[in-house]
Amino acid sequence: MVRVKIFGVARLKAGTGTFERDVETVDELLGSIPNMTKKEAKDLVLLVNGNPVSRRYRFKDGDEAVLLAPAGGG
């Protein structure tokens, strides 16, 4: 089971900040984000356990995936 956290405007769009998914691949995860198409989800930065990962990454049980968009402020 992968614990997923979404931040930034993506969280407002998804309507939820934290959920769990039983997925193995990044593609599966990106296709399972609420209120978001896979194409939209592909434009989010993915970190697993705090580190950037490639699209070929295979999830392990207990991983924490974070999705967020680029941001700016001041």
By CB under 8 A, is residue 69 in contact with other proteins?
yes
By CB under 8 A, is residue 20 in contact with other proteins?
no
Backbone angles phi, psi at 41, to 5 degrees: -65, -25
By CB under 8 A, is residue 50 in contact with other proteins?
yes
Shortest distance (Å) from residue 9 CB to other proteins = 5
SS3 5: strand
- Region at 8 (left for phi over 0; alpha for psi -120 to 50; beta for the rest): left
By CB under 8 A, is residue 56 in contact with other proteins?
no
Identify which of residues 32 and 53 has a Cβ nearer to other proteins in the complex.
53
By CB under 8 A, is residue 64 in contact with other proteins?
no
Length of the chain: 74
